[in-house]
Chains A and B, each alone.
Chain A
């Protein structure tokens, strides 16, 4: 076995990944080659130390300001479709917060909810989500790319889903710890989001 072949197999040899025949060949070469034996020793010495190196090395100063100042010059023309995508992404962020809804309401005892007054703990997030949904809806409908039939159907679906959200919201306010109501509430939001995403996809390809 040559030094080159041995070196090729050295990492697998150390990791115990070679088959028995290859391992025996590497071992035989190492017994008679001081150079490759030194490579093996160095690799064995370094492997655990290298693995222990920190994966991250935070800077001691803020680097973002220097980055941000250079961003504006590069991308400032996000068009309407891009804006729609951005809003949809923001919606998904909000919906992500919505999945957290279950945990929040589960952790808050009914007595604490009552003591806090009329507001539910997630109310501001829900308001943000609905506002963002409205923004997306307006952006899609104002773009002029959708046919009248698609626009009409879209408006109708959104009205129904918005009604479901309103109804579920009221039900949840009346019974904030009810698992079934919470699930209906999430489902209503999710259906509306899906409707918006589907139309956004049609919009972006039309």
Chain B
């Protein structure tokens, strides 16, 4: 029996461990082992979404860039704890939300912008080439009071539940709900002008 026929008889392996990993899984595995090039590929795949989160939570483009960098450094540090029990994007997103909220809290960035749109962000929010309408909404979100902005972004934009938001922000579920409805009202008023 030739080596070729042996390989042919063996055929594709059928065990769980033999399934080909996805490209992302392979990159994550390499990054977990310290391969910075593989980590860059992971970064490239997710940076747009992470920065969108950072931008909307902070309301400031320059701050969002810094937060995005902080998030990916934290991802690198914590990559060894990712066991594949959830989708990597879910794990990354959770970590990003935690990192951003913690950083914003510790930096004391608790600006209270009560009069929505009366105090537009100093740095214009730059985004992709979206419709004009979406830029208006982005600006209105950026001008929300911080608590309202955080809950609106996490609930209505990112799709998180109130109990998850309450856990992350250290507030009561009722507070999260109150922030959300206030945010919606303020945004409605701002976009109606």
Contact = CB atoms under 8 A, between A and B. Distances in A.
Interface stretch (A36-44, A107-115, A117-125, A143-151): A36-44
Interface residues of B, number: 63
Contacts, number: 193
A54 B65 CA distance: 17
A106 B55 CA distance: 45
A34 interface: no
A89 B76 contact: no
B55 A57 contact: yes
Nearest to A96: B23
B77 interface: yes
B91 to A, nearest CB: 17
Interface string A14-49: 000000000000000000000000110111011101
Contact of B3 (A47, A52, A161): A161
A75 B34 contact: yes
A183 B51 CA distance: 43
B73 A70 contact: yes
Contacts of A77: 34
Contact of A78 (B34, B48, B61, B157): B34
Q: Which of A45, A60, A89 is packed against the most chain B CB atoms within 10 Å?
A: A89
B30 A163 contact: no
Q: Say which size band chain A's interface belongs to.
A: 35 or more
Contacts of B133: 49, 52
27 contacts: A7-B177, A39-B185, A42-B184, A42-B185, A43-B184, A46-B156, A46-B187, A49-B133, A55-B52, A57-B52, A57-B127, A58-B47, A59-B64, A63-B72, A67-B73, A70-B69, A89-B21, A90-B26, A93-B26, A96-B23, A162-B3, A163-B3, A167-B2, A184-B8, A187-B12, A190-B12, A194-B13
Instruction: Give me the 8 closest cross-chain CB pairs, A-B, nearest first.
Output: A56-B48, A78-B34, A86-B33, A163-B3, A89-B29, A164-B7, A89-B30, A164-B3
